[in-house]
């Protein structure tokens, strides 16, 4: 049975079509059109429907595989970018740490230089520094009010002030002992 479309020459192959492929499709269509009404409906198209679904399943599986491959590629790119960013971040922090260390060492060097100057001062240089720190009258003595302002927030010296022997080990040029109190 069938529509006989393949035998009926009413349909012609399109000008840009493949005549061999056209003939094959007409023959297949004729085989599916069991009642010959020139339309495949219901059960007549079951095989075509099954093949269509199988094709879609295959295409969907290929799409899933393609997406997985793309994901793998994207993850490689992201991980490479992440690794580079981690290296860049590590380098930036290393640079910051080195800068802080350098700045700190410079400050310590400045303080050490100042400390060395203080430790090497002669008694006359110490007096000159004290006058310069406390007094506004060019070394002509320290007035009571200058002394008062200077000592207001400092502890009182013991009655007998003993100047320290300056050595690089001692951080403070003035030391007292318990017996001095």
What does the alpha-carbon distance between residue 175 and residue 43 come to, in Å, rounded to a whole number?
112
Annotated domain spans of the chain: 121-163
Number of other CB atoms surrounding residue 179 within 10 Å: 8
pLDDT of residue 131: 86
Residue 113 confidence (pLDDT) above 80: yes
pLDDT of residue 3: 56
What does the alpha-carbon distance between residue 34 and residue 31 come to, in Å, rounded to a whole number?
6
Q: How many residues are given for the chain?
A: 181
Extract the tokens encoding 124.
Answer: 């006359």
In DSSP terms, 174 is beta-bridged to: 163
- Render pLDDT for 11-21 as a digit per residue (tens, 0 to 9): 889 999 999 99
| DSSP state, residue 132 | H
pLDDT of residue 168: 46
């Amino acid at each position: 049975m069938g529509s006989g479309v393949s035998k009926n020459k009413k349909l012609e192959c399109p000008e840009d079509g493949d005549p061999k492929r056209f003939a094959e499709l007409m023959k297949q269509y004729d085989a599916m059109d069991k009642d010959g009404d020139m339309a495949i409906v219901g059960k007549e198209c079951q095989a075509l429907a099954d093949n269509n679904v199988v094709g879609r399943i295959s295409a969907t599986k290929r799409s899933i595989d393609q997406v997985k491959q793309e994901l793998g590629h994207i993850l490689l790119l992201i991980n490479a970018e992440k690794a580079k960013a981690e290296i860049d971040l590590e380098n930036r922090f290393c640079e910051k740490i080195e800068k802080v260390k350098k700045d700190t060492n410079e400050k310590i060097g400045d303080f050490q230089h100042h400390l060395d100057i203080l430790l090497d001062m002669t008694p006359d240089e110490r007096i000159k520094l004290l006058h310069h720190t406390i007094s506004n009258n060019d070394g002509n003595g320290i007035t009571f009010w200058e002394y008062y302002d200077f000592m207001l927030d400092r502890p009182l010296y013991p009655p007998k002030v003993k100047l320290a022997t300056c050595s690089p080990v001692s951080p403070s040029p003035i030391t007292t002992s318990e017996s001095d109190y």
